[in-house]
Each structure stands twice: as structure tokens, then as C-alpha cells.
């Protein structure tokens, strides 16, 4: 049986192959209740159809975008519509219709775009200011004219449809027939009303079964709907009424100004207002994998594409179903969710038991009939047949049916769905959003977790704790927290340079909130640095006005640095600033600032000394960054595409405190005691990582901590030796994470869970058995590639997912035990009693209660992680 199950009923937990899906479906060809049995299973035919439709749309988009000739046809079609401005649009005070806007962006129609006066022109035509954005009062107005950013959905199914579906159960249909026959026969033989009772009992059971099934299916459909909504609800940053704020993607209107940064999904069609090295991955839309650069020459942005690098601002021109993405979305949700390996396996078990049941049912019927015939023959009545004989035979048939009803455990695969759905619901309230049902199950057998450090193990509330500049370290605590004390401890020229580098070279922004207070929008690291700048008494706006930004190279995890090039208004000099991972920036410095604010040569000894400072900070678990600048005199440097990377002057080393989350230590301990290894894979400094790892109880005496570059250069043999001991991988690139996961899975046969937040973590999340994306710090790209989203970014939540995963296994185990006991006892009892005497046996209504039991199971509570050897 083991072999049979393995051969026919094995699917991969993630992205199962089409072949495996088909194989197990055809292995349950002989099933009495196809539509019921497969109701929680993906509909392959529907899915293939949706796939085909999606491919057609993608191909069309591809042709329109990449094949010039076709694009021209598109443009001509757009031109015709252009001439007349719809009445309602004109009355509303706008000067361009929704369809025309849609057509310009969709077909990348540069000539029409310029005819309308570029971005400024379009902004004017949709009555919006490019600096202040939409005014909240005319949002509903805009929605009336241009539509809202929602996508068509299939109408929800009502409760009665589920009742109707539940009635399609073949077992129930047989039972209904049995009930009718029983009532008829009962009344005929036992009279009114005594003969009714048996039949009514069956009816009552049918009623219960139908309603319990329908209610549970209905509740589940609502739950999946909620989940779907939660999955699609993305927060986007917009400027409205001059304030930068976060709103739901569904509230976006035409005319909104959206801020895009690396890893974001473009939330609607639009045109670029301004941006730095913005490159877009359009593969979700057109299937084209090469990223495209979006610049003033090619300013069009399409909904559903992803920001691969850089940052920018865009003006929304088309929303909702008018975008191509809207049409694609409809095809994405069709075909149902993939079944999980456990579901498939239990389908196999149900099939095997069903077959045995069938054999026993036939045997029982034969035994009973033969006994009856033999008795009849003995009495010499074999030729005489009356109504009562038919009734007896009918009764035998009912017994056989009962055996099938009790023996085929239809509810077995369903128990997995119920159990998983229940775990999913619990996890949702525990701050984990399960995107794929199977992830929950797989997590139960995870043997290893590769976790991020920042935000997952730590709180992500970062504050500058120490700064080293001009040869001395200042800790920002106690008295030093006061502005005057701080200012007096840093020389005037140096202070100015420091503030310049803080305020000019940042991806974050200081905005005045509605309450007039300063709010900082940006990543925690950036926020910490800006807050420090404000603490030093700097003014964001003032420093920003002093110069014009020429170029920005936004931060990404690969370079681990951010640089800007500005032209200073006093004197017209150009200056580059860079900040980033301490060792990397220190490597590109050849000078250091001294107490007078002058740059002096950075000697070898001094470099060594600064490295010690950095390591000192890092050993205290501080996140270290270096700030540096460079005066750029060469015009070729100014006009080249990139900002120079070498010969900088070091201004300061900053140590940022990011304390370990409370509860992480216990969570790690629980994982370890449950046999799950925990490893840190971080982009941070090795000493910082080690300090945090020790604090969390991850790094032990004989554990190994190495850096990304060392790991990258290892031979397969060295890998084999290193990986089992590896506990901390620091200064890693996203590719290292991917490599580690691949190794753990392929060579060490581990079941690996990986956390990630960045865009570049996507390959690792994709590769892992369970990808966990961070809900707060995570980018859209990471979330899309993950199986579970950890809404509060907390490691303790990951432990909860594992706990519930195991609870599912325990539930199923109990259920299978229960089911098999019922089946085997019922089978044997019926068969044996049929063979020995006709007195003791099950009646059809007992079958009903057994079925009822199946539907009501799978709700036991989870107790603890408990040991489970992976099967
Ligand atoms: N906005 C930023 N600008 C410049 N440098 C930064 C910025 N944010 C982080 N860094 C530097 O880059 C380093 C690595 O960042 P990276 O994103 O690769 O790792 P991480 O995601 O912060 O760490 P983890 O993997 O633990 O989450 C940090 O240690 C820090 O020194
Ligand atoms: Ca990270």
C-alpha cells in the first residue's frame, strides 16, 4: 500500500507539477462522489483555460509594447477617440477623458503625450498640482468620472448554493432513496405512525449532514475571500494636500501622486514625474523578463509591474479595470487553490479503503443472499416468491449500501482542508497570513529556519547610539542627548558637513504631519539617521534648499550603500555624499576629516584604528554605518551616468542601536528544542550579527559565523563541512541566501523555511520550502514570492506557524485513527454478523451519524510543538 500511495499519491508541496496533479486525479477514477471529493481541489481544466486567456492578454501587451508596428496601429486607434471630450468629463472641469488617458499610457504613445504637454500638461488636464497632489474633497468626484481602483470579482456564492451542492453527495442521495423506501415499507408493514420512525431518523441525519457540510463550506469560502482581500490590499505612499501619506491601493484615484521605491508594485497606470535610476520589471504583465528603464524619454508606468531598482514619483492616469492589469487579475484567481500533499495522500488512503469497502459490501450482500436462498431451498420454498421476500432482499441491499457509506472515508481528505483552514484562521489572528494552504502543512515538518536579523530578531526601532568623528567617540545618552551639549562637542565646520551629509543623502523625508509635528517617512535606518540630524538641531528644509540634487543612487542590499551628487548653491561646486556599510565605505575613503573640518590623508594606522572603532561598535550589537563626502571638480564625473565611488573623505562612523525583541530568545529556544535549527543570514556586519546571535541564543560555543564573500568562494566539499555548523552568515548578498537554501535542501535534505524582506530575497523565498515575508518591512516583491506573510515581522510568530503546522499533523493523525477504527469495526461487524446471523447489524442511519462525525472533525486545539519525525 505504501508503494501504491507513493507512486500515485505524491505531489510536491510547492508548485506541484501538472503531471503529479493529473496522476492522482486519475488514480481516484473510481470514486463514487467525484464532484464532492474534488471540491477543495484545483480545477485543472478551468485553470488551463484561464492560463490560455492570460497568455493571450500578455502576448497582446507584449506586441503592443515591443513590436513597433503593432504599437502604431494601437496609437491610431487611440487618436480616433481623442477628438471628442465626453460631456460629463467637461462638465466636471477636467480636460481629458478616461479612455484617452488609458490609451496614451497603455500604448506608450509619446506623440500624444507630448501633444498634451507632457506630465505637467496631463496634470493640468486632470486638475491636479504636481507638488500638492489631490485634494481629499474631490476624491469621490474623480471616482465618478475616472472610476476607482478596484477589480472585477466573481460574485460571492450564497449559502443556499452550498446547501444545494452538499445535496449532490451520492451517499446522501442513496440515503434519501433509502429513507423513502424505508418510510414506504415501514408504513406498509408496521402501519402509521410506527413505521415512520426509521425513515424519519434517516431524514433527520441527512438534514444534519447537509447543513453541517454547507455551513462549514460556506464559512470557509468567506474565510478564503477575506484572505484574498487581505493579500491584495497593498498600502501605497501618495502625496495628498501636500502631505505624504499611506493609503490603500483601492482608494487610489486618477491624479494621485504616488511615490515608488525598490520592491514596490506599480499600483495603477501612470506617467513618471521624476525619478532616479528607476527600472521596472514588466514580466508579470508582458512576460518579458528584461527590466526596462523608466525615464523622461519613456515615462510610462503600467499597473502590476514591479520596481526593480531606484525610486521615483508618478502621476496616476488610469485605474481599475481600464488597466491591462485589471483584465489579467481576473484570470489569475481562477482554477482554485492547489491541493496539499497531505490532502492528496489522504485521498489515496480513502481510495484504498473505499475499494476494500466495496469488496466487503459485495461479499456481505452475496453471503446474505446465499444464506437466504439456502434457507429458502431447505424449506422447499425456492419457487415461491412473495412481497416479503423482495423486502428481505431489499434489506440486504440496504446493508450493503450501509457498508459502503461507512467504509468509504469521504471526509478524510476534507479533514485536512478543515484542519488547515482552522490553523490558518488562528494564525491570521496571531499575525501570520498564510498565502498558500500547503505552507502551513510544510511548516509542520520544517527542520531549519534561515532568518533575517534586522526587524525579525530585533525591534527595528533604530536610534543612533554612538558616533565617532574627528578622533573621538560620543555616546548619545544622558546629557549628551541635549542639543547644546551635542553641538558643543562637535566642531562647527564638521557639524555643518555632518548635517549636510545626513540631510542631502537620504532616502527618507521629513514631513509636517497634520498636527504640525515632524514626521519621518522612510526605512528604519534612514529614520534613525535623520532623527539624529534633527537632534543635532539641523533643519531638513534648509539643507535641502541650499543645494540641488543632481543624481541619486538609492540604497540596495547588493551595493549596501547609497550616494547622491549635489550642486551646492554657494559657489556652484559639486559634491558627492555616500553612506553605507561601514567597511565598504571605509575602503573607498582615502582621507578623513579632522577637528578643523579639513580633510587629511588617511594613513594605514588610522584605517586600522577606525576599523577597531567600527568593530567596537559592532561588538556592542550596534548597526554601523559610515558617512563620507567628496568634492567633484571633474565635469566628466558630473555628467557621467554614475556617481564616483572612490577617494572619499570620511566624516563619521555611526552606531545605531536596534535592540533584540522581547520573547525572541524563548522562541528560538522552543524551536531548538523542537528540533528546528535556526540560522541568521544578514546583510549586516559580522560582529553586530554575532552579538545579536549570542543574545538570541542562536550562536553557540562551537557554532560557526562567517561572512558572505568567504561563503561564496567555498568549494562544494568545504560547503559540506561548513554548513552543518554554520549559524551566522553576515555581510551576505541575497544570492548567498539563495545558495545556502539550495544547498540545505538538495544536499542536506532539510526542510527549509526562509525569511526575507528585500526585493532581492525573492529567489531565496521562491526556492525555500516555506518562504516567509515580512509584513511591515517587506516589499511587495518579497511578499508575492512568499508562502506566509509575517505581519508583525516577529520571529516569535514564525515559531507559531511551525507550532500550528505540527498541530495540523497531530489533528490529522488523530482523525485518521478515529476514521480507521470506525471503518474497520463497522466493516468487520457488518460482515461477520451477516455471515453468522442476521440479527445484529448496522442500520443506514448509523451510517449517517458516522458520516456526520467525519464532517465535524478536525477542530481539536493545538497544544505545543511536540516532536514529529518528518514523514
Ligand atoms: N538606507 C541605507 N543607506 C545606506 N546604507 C544602509 C542603509 N540601510 C542599511 N545600510 C547598510 O547596509 C547594510 C546591509 O543592509 P542589508 O539590507 O543588506 O541588510 P539588512 O536587510 O539590513 O539586514 P538583515 O538581512 O538582517 O535584514 C547595513 O548593515 C547598513 O550598514
Ligand atoms: Ca534583509
462 CA distance to ligand 1 middle (Å): 12
DSSP string, 630-643: EEE--HHHHHSSS-
Q: List every span in the chain annotated with CATH 3.40.50.1000.
A: 421-458+661-806
| 271-273-274 Cα angle (round to 5) | 130
* pLDDT at residue number 849: 45
ipTM surpassing 0.95, yes or no? yes
| 162-165-166 Cα angle (round to 5) | 85
Which residue in this structure is represented by grid cell 465535524?
Answer: 856
* Contact criterion met (CB below 8 Å) for 638 and 574: yes
Q: Which of 309, 311, 451, 454 to mutate to test the pocket of ligand 1 (most atoms within 8 A of CB)?
A: 454
The answer, yes or no, to whether the previous bond of 193 is cis (omega within 30 of 0) is: yes
* pLDDT at residue number 845: 45
* Contact criterion met (CB below 8 Å) for 709 and 639: no
* Contact criterion met (CB below 8 Å) for 315 and 119: yes
Return d(Cα 119, Cα 113) in angstroms, integer. Answer: 8
* Contact criterion met (CB below 8 Å) for 309 and 264: no
Q: Cα 729 from chain centroid?
A: 24
Query: Which grid cell is 314?
Result: 508618478
* pLDDT at residue number 10: 84
* pLDDT at residue number 26: 83
* Contact criterion met (CB below 8 Å) for 436 and 787: yes
Q: Name the residue with the closest Cα to ligand 1, atom 2.
A: 555
679 contacts: CB under 8 Å, gap ≥ 6: 448, 449, 450, 451, 698, 726, 727, 728, 729, 740
Ligand 1 is surrounded, with C-beta below 6 A, by 452-455, 507, 523, 525-526, 555, 557, 560-562, 579-581, 623, 625, 682-685, 758
* Contact criterion met (CB below 8 Å) for 683 and 731: yes
Q: Which ligand is nearest to the CA of 733?
A: 1
> What are phi and psi for residue 129, nearest 5 degrees?
-95, 135
Q: Name the residue with the closest Cα to ligand 1, atom 10.
A: 580
Residue 288's alpha-carbon distances to 216, 230, 285, 538, in angstroms, are 42, 28, 8, 46
Return d(Cα 669, Cα 677) in angstroms, integer. Answer: 10
* pLDDT at residue number 30: 66
Q: How far apart are the first and last CA of the chain?
A: 15
526 CA distance to ligand 1 middle (Å): 10
Q: Which CATH architecture has domain 421-458+661-806?
A: 3-Layer(aba) Sandwich (3.40)
What is the DSSP-derived secondary structure letter of residue 458?
A: B
For the CA of 732, the closest atom of ligand 1 is 18
Q: Name the residue with the closest Cα to ligand 1, atom 6.
A: 580
Q: List every span in the chain annotated with CATH 3.40.1110.10.
A: 463-657
* Contact criterion met (CB below 8 Å) for 563 and 643: yes
548 CA distance to ligand 1 middle (Å): 26
The b-or-e profile of 198-236 (16+ CB within 10 A means b, else e) is bbebbbebbebbbebbbebbbebeeeeeebeeeeeeeeb
Q: Which ligand is nearest to the CA of 761?
A: 2
The enclosing H or E element of 578 equals strand 574-581
Q: Please give all residues whose CB falls under 5 A of ion ligand 2, grouped by chain where several chains appear.
A: 452, 757-758
For the CA of 623, the closest atom of ligand 1 is 29
For the CA of 456, the closest atom of ligand 1 is 27
Kindly name the residue from 452, 761, 787, 793 that is annotated as catalytic. 452
422 contacts: CB under 8 Å, gap ≥ 6: 858, 859
For the CA of 581, the closest atom of ligand 1 is 31
Q: Name the residue with the closest Cα to ligand 1, atom 30.
A: 581
Q: Which of 683, 688, 757, 773 to mutate to test the pocket of ligand 1 (most atoms within 8 A of CB)?
A: 683
DSSP string, 483-544: HHHHHHHS-HHHHHHHHHHHHHS-S-EEEE-TTS-EEEES-HHHHHHHHHHHHTT--HHHHH
Q: Name the residue with the closest Cα to ligand 1, atom 17.
A: 557
Which residue in this structure is represented by grid cell 462522489?
Answer: 33
Q: Which ligand is nearest to the CA of 762?
A: 2
648 CA distance to ligand 2 middle (Å): 27
Query: Which grid cell is 700?
Result: 553557540
* pLDDT at residue number 74: 52
* pLDDT at residue number 836: 75
What is the DSSP-derived secondary structure letter of residue 129?
A: B
Return d(Cα 538, Cα 495) in angstroms, integer. Answer: 9
For the CA of 684, the closest atom of ligand 1 is 29
Bridge partners of 622, per DSSP, are: 657
845 CA distance to ligand 2 middle (Å): 59
* pLDDT at residue number 695: 93
645 CA distance to ligand 1 middle (Å): 18
Q: Is 452 a catalytic residue?
A: yes
Helix, strand and coil percent figures for the chain, each rounded to 5: 50, 20, 30
For the CA of 624, the closest atom of ligand 1 is 31
545 contacts: CB under 8 Å, gap ≥ 6: 569
**pLDDT per residue as tens digits for the range 387-422:** 888 888 888 888 887 777 777 777 788 888 888 888
Q: Which ligand is nearest to the CA of 758?
A: 2
* Contact criterion met (CB below 8 Å) for 446 and 752: yes
Query: Which grid cell is 293?
Result: 528603464
**pLDDT per residue as tens digits for the range 295-311:** 988 899 999 999 988 88
* Contact criterion met (CB below 8 Å) for 680 and 623: no
Q: Which of 276, 456, 625, 736 to mutate to test the pocket of ligand 1 (most atoms within 8 A of CB)?
A: 625
Q: CATH top-level class for 463-657? A: alpha beta
Residues (pLDDT < 70) of the chain are: 30-33, 67-83, 335, 514, 571, 837-871
Q: Which ligand is nearest to the CA of 583?
A: 1
Q: Name the residue with the closest Cα to ligand 1, atom 31.
A: 581
Amino acid at each position: 500500500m505504501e508503494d501504491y500511495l507513493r507512486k500515485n499519491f505524491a505531489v510536491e508541496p510547492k508548485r506541484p507539477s501538472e503531471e503529479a496533479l493529473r496522476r492522482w486525479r486519475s488514480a481516484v477514477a473510481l470514486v463514487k462522489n467525484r464532484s464532492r471529493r474534488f471540491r477543495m481541489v484545483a480545477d485543472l481544466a478551468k485553470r488551463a483555460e484561464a492560463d490560455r486567456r492570460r497568455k493571450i492578454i500578455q502576448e497582446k501587451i507584449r506586441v503592443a509594447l515591443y513590436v513597433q508596428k503593432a504599437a502604431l496601429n494601437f496609437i491610431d486607434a487611440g487618436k480616433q477617440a481623442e477628438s471628442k471630450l465626453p460631456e460629463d468629463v467637461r462638465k466636471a472641469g477636467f480636460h481629458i477623458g478616461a479612455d484617452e488617458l488609458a490609451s496614451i499610457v497603455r500604448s506608450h504613445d509619446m506623440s500624444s503625450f507630448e501633444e498634451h504637454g507632457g506630465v505637467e500638461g496631463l496634470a493640468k488636464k486632470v486638475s491636479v498640482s504636481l507638488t500638492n497632489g489631490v485634494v481629499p474633497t474631490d476624491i469621490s468626484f474623480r471616482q465618478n468620472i475616472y472610476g476607482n481602483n478596484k477589480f472585477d470579482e466573481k460574485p460571492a456564492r450564497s449559502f443556499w448554493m452550498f446547501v444545494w451542492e452538499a445535496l449532490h453527495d451520492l451517499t446522501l442521495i442513496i440515503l434519501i432513496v433509502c429513507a423513502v423506501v424505508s418510510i414506504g415499507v415501514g408504513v406498509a408493514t408496521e402501519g402509521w405512525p410506527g413505521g415512520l420512525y426509521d425513515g424519519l431518523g434517516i431524514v433527520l441525519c441527512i438534514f444534519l449532514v447537509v447543513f453541517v457540510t454547507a455551513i462549514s463550506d460556506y464559512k470557509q469560502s468567506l474565510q478564503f475571500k477575506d484572505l484574498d482581500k487581505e493579500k491584495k490590499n497593498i498600502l501605497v505612499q501618495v502625496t495628498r494636500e501636500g502631505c505624504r501619506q499611506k493609503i490603500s491601493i483601492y482608494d487610489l484615484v486618477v491624479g494621485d501622486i504616488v511615490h515608488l521605491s525598490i520592491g514596490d508594485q506599480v499600483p495603477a497606470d501612470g506617467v513618471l514625474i521624476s525619478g532616479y535610476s528607476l527600472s521596472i520589471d514588466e514580466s508579470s504583465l508582458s512576460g518579458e523578463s528584461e527590466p526596462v528603464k523608466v525615464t523622461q524619454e519613456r515615462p510610462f508606468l503600467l499597473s502590476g509591474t514591479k520596481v526593480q531598482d531606484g525610486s521615483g514619483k508618478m502621476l496616476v492616469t488610469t485605474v481599475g479595470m481600464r488597466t491591462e492589469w485589471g483584465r489579467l487579475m481576473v484570470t489569475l484567481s481562477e482554477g482554485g487553490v492547489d491541493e496539499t500533499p497531505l490532502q492528496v495522500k489522504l485521498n489515496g488512503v480513502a481510495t484504498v479503503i473505499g475499494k476494500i469497502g466495496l469488496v466487503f459490501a459485495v461479499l456481505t450482500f452475496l453471503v446474505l443472499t446465499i444464506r437466504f436462498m439456502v434457507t429458502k431451498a431447505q424449506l422447499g420454498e425456492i419457487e415461491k416468491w412473495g412481497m416479503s421476500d423482495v423486502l428481505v432482499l431489499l434489506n440486504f441491499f440496504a446493508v450493503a449500501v450501509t457498508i459502503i457509506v461507512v467504509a468509504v472515508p469521504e471526509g478524510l481528505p476534507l479533514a485536512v482542508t478543515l484542519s488547515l483552514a482552522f490553523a490558518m484562521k488562528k494564525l491570521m489572528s496571531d499575525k501570520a497570513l498564510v498565502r498558500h494552504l500547503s505552507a502551513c502543512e510544510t511548516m509542520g515538518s520544517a527542520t531549519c529556519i534561515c532568518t533575517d536579523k534586522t526587524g525579525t530578531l530585533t525591534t527595528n526601532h533604530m536610534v543612533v547610539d554612538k558616533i565617532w568623528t574627528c578622533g573621538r567617540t560620543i555616546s548619545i545618552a544622558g546629557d549628551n542627548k541635549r542639543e547644546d551639549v551635542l553641538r558643543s562637542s562637535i566642531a562647527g565646520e564638521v557639524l555643518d558637513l555632518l548635517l549636510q551629509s545626513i540631510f542631502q543623502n537620504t532616502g527618507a523625508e521629513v514631513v509636517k504631519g497634520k498636527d504640525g509635528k515632524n514626521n519621518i517617512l522612510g526605512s528604519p535606518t534612514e529614520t534613525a539617521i535623520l532623527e539624529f540630524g534633527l537632534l543635532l538641531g539641523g533643519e531638513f528644509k534648509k539643507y535641502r534648499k541650499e543645494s540641488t540634487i543632481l543624481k541619486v543612487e538609492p540604497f540596495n542590499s547588493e551595493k549596501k550603500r547609497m550616494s547622491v551628487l549635489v550642486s551646492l548653491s554657494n559657489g556652484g561646486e559639486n559634491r558627492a555624499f555616500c553612506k553605507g556599510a561601514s567597511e565598504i565605505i571605509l575602503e573607498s575613503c582615502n582621507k578623513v576629516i579632522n577637528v578643523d573640518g579639513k580633510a587629511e590623508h588617511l594613513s594605514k594606522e588610522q584605517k586600522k584604528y577606525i576599523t577597531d572603532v567600527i568593530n567596537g561598535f559592532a561588538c556592542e550589537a550596534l548597526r554601523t554605518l559610515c558617512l563620507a563626502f567628496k568634492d567633484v571638480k571633474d565635469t566628466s564625473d558630473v555628467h557621467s551616468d554614475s556617481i564616483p565611488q572612490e577617494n572619499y573623505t570620511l566624516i563619521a562612523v555611526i552606531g545605531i542601536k536596534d535592540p533584540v525583541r522581547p520573547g525572541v530568545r524563548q522562541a528560538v529556544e522552543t524551536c531548538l528544542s523542537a528540533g528546528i535549527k535556526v540560522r541568521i543570514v544578514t546583510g549586516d556586519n559580522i560582529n553586530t550579527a554575532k552579538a545579536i546571535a549570542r543574545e538570541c541564543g542562536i550562536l553557540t560555543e562551537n557554532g560557526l559565523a562567517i561572512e558572505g564573500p568567504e561563503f561564496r568562494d567555498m568549494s562544494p566539499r568545504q560547503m559540506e563541512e561548513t554548513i552543518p555548523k554554520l549559524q551566522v552568515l553576515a555581510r551576505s548578498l541575497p544570492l548567498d541566501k539563495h545558495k545556502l537554501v539550495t544547498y540545505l535542501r538538495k544536499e542536506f535534505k532539510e526542510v527549509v523555511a526562509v525569511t526575507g524582506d528585500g526585493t532581492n530575497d525573492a529567489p531565496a523565498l521562491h526556492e525555500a520550502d516555506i518562504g516567509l515575508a515580512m509584513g511591515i518591512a517587506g516589499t511587495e516583491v518579497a511578499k508575492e514570492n512568499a508562502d506566509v506573510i509575517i505581519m508583525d515581522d516577529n520571529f516569535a510568530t514564525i515559531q507559531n506557524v511551525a507550532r500550528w503546522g505540527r498541530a495540523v499533523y497531530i489533528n490529522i493523525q488523530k482523525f485518521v485513527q478515529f476514521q480507521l477504527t470506525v471503518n474497520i469495526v463497522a466493516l468487520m461487524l457488518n460482515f461477520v454478523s451477516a455471515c453468522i446471523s442476521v440479527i445484529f447489524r448496522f442500520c443506514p442511519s448509523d451510517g449517517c451519524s458516522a458520516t456526520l462525525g467525519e464532517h465535524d472533525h478536525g477542530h481539536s486545539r493545538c497544544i505545543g510543538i511536540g516532536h514529529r519525525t518528518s514523514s
